Amino acid sequence: MNVVETILVYAVIPLAIYLVVGAATLRKKFSGTPRYRPGQPWEYPAMWWTANPEGVGAGHHAVDPGSVVPSGALTAAGGARGKW
């Protein structure tokens, strides 16, 4: 190969590949809707997600502080307790 072919194969073609990949990844950044920045007003309705299908707060029962919990009842204490 002469010098021109060598430069074409080892410099120009890899550079062209990098430019095509770079243009493909940056294309989304320069087009489309502008991103939200802190301090800007939020113009969209609130969307809340909960793992509880009945909704937030459903299924939670308050217990009076002085009441006695029956033996074997499920409580919110949970945790990684065990007897060693």
Residues 5-18 have pLDDT tens digits of: 999 899 999 999 99
| Domain count within the chain | 1
Flag whether 52 is in a domain: no
Query: Which pTM was predicted?
Result: 0.36
Flag whether 13 is in a domain: yes
Strands in the chain per DSSP E: none
Flag whether 62 is in a domain: no
Flag whether 47 is in a domain: no
CA distance 25 to 77: 49
Residues 20-63 have pLDDT tens digits of: 998 888 877 666 777 778 888 888 888 777 676 676 665 556 66
CA distance 81 to 40: 46
Flag whether 73 is in a domain: no
- Looking at residue 34, what DSSP letter applies? P
Task: Work out the number of other CB atoms within 10 angstroms of the CB of residue 8.
Answer: 13
